[in-house]
């Protein structure tokens, strides 16, 4: 399939996990990628993999916790590739702690990466996406659709991202712009492999949301992303697409 031939996609979190898988998938279907991350080494690996496969990618180190960096990332992507068709807000972080132990720094950082950055990147990208009848795909989480113990900041930020998606979708209902989100459950990536758990947590509570069918692969999320971001999904707008093995079915 060549659904992204001639299209330009800015993907955050492109150095690792889902962001890397999305970048590789869209590039394999013809997209020119502008890959954004704070991890320069991981970005270079993504860039090499895509270029080795004959794909088109440029990368830029931008810490998306700052609004100015979000604006700069969009401007640089448009400068590099001439336009913008897809914004993929994939970068995200999680930390586990009982609510009363969450530091102000962690609360603000988790919201800055998971919620503020998609908002500021969208603000900068929307004028460009309106020109191309493009679209935004936000990577939310099942944690944005249900309560999870010990992840108050993560749940709050992802629930915010779910309703940010819906708000931007309804606002643009009469334009060519589409806005959607994917809500994965557990996915085998660096995020889930390196997350640490403080002592004293109630594991019966964690097991309630640890997945009913094991972890998904990042490539599964990338496949759904590619469909939603493509013209095949021209009626998909304001959708929150769950890929969680059934955790949120109740």
Cβ nearer to ligand NAD, comparing 153 with 169: 153
Cβ nearer to ligand NAD, comparing 89 with 135: 89
Backbone angles phi, psi at 241, to 5 degrees: -95, 110
CA-CA distance, 31 to 221, in Å (whole number)?
17
> Do residues 177 and 126 lie in contact, with contact meaning Cβ atoms separated by under 8 Å?
yes
- Catalytic-residue membership of 154: yes
CA-CA distance, 209 to 146, in Å (whole number)?
9
Q: Smallest gap, in angstroms, from Cβ of residue 158 to ligand NAD?
A: 7
Q: Smallest gap, in angstroms, from Cβ of residue 192 to ligand NAD?
A: 4
Binding site for ligand NAD (CB under 6 A): 12-13, 15-19, 37-39, 42, 63-65, 90-94, 113, 139, 141, 184, 186-187, 189-192
SS3 138: strand
Q: Smallest gap, in angstroms, from Cβ of residue 151 to ligand NAD?
A: 10
Q: Smallest gap, in angstroms, from Cβ of residue 214 to ligand NAD?
A: 11
Q: Smallest gap, in angstroms, from Cβ of residue 8 to ligand NAD?
A: 19
Cβ nearer to ligand NAD, comparing 84 with 117: 117
CA-CA distance, 241 to 137, in Å (whole number)?
10
Cβ nearer to ligand NAD, comparing 11 with 169: 11
Q: Which two tokens stand for residue 241?
A: 């697409």
**H-type alpha helices, 112-202:** 117-132, 152-171, 190-194
Cβ nearer to ligand NAD, comparing 77 with 113: 113
Catalytic residue from among 34, 150, 154, 209: 154
Q: Order of strands, edge to edge, in the sheet holding 32-37?
A: 56-61, 32-37, 8-12, 86-89, 135-139, 178-184, 240-243
End-to-end CA gap in the chain: 36
CA-CA distance, 98 to 178, in Å (whole number)?
37
Write out the catalytic residue numbers. 154
């Amino acid at each position: 399939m060549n659904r992204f031939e001639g299209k330009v996609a800015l993907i955050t979190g492109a150095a690792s996990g889902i962001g890397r898988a999305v970048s590789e998938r869209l590039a394999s279907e013809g997209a020119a990628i502008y890959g954004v991350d704070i991890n320069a080494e991981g970005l270079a690996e993504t860039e090499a993999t895509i270029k080795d496969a004959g794909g088109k990618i440029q990368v830029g180190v931008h810490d998306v916790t700052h609004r100015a960096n979000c604006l700069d990332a969009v401007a640089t992507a448009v400068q590099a590739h001439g336009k913008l068709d897809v914004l993929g807000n994939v970068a995200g972080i999680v930390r586990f702690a009982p609510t009363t132990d969450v530091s102000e720094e962690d609360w603000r950082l988790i919201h800055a990466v998971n919620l503020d950055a998609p908002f500021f990147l969208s603000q900068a990208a929307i004028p460009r996406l309106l020109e191309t009848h493009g679209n935004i795909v936000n990577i939310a989480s099942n944690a944005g659709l249900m309560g999870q113990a010990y992840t108050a900041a993560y749940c709050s930020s992802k629930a915010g991202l779910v309703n940010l998606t819906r708000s931007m979708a309804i606002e643009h209902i009469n334009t060519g712009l589409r806005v959607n989100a994917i809500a994965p459950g557990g996915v085998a990536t660096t995020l889930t492999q390196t997350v640490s758990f403080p002592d004293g947590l109630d594991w019966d509570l964690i097991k309630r949301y640890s997945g009913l069918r094991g972890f998904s692969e990042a490539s599964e999320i990338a496949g759904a992303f590619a469909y939603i971001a493509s013209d095949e999904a021209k009626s998909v707008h304001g959708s929150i697409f769950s890929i969680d093995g059934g955790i949120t079915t109740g």
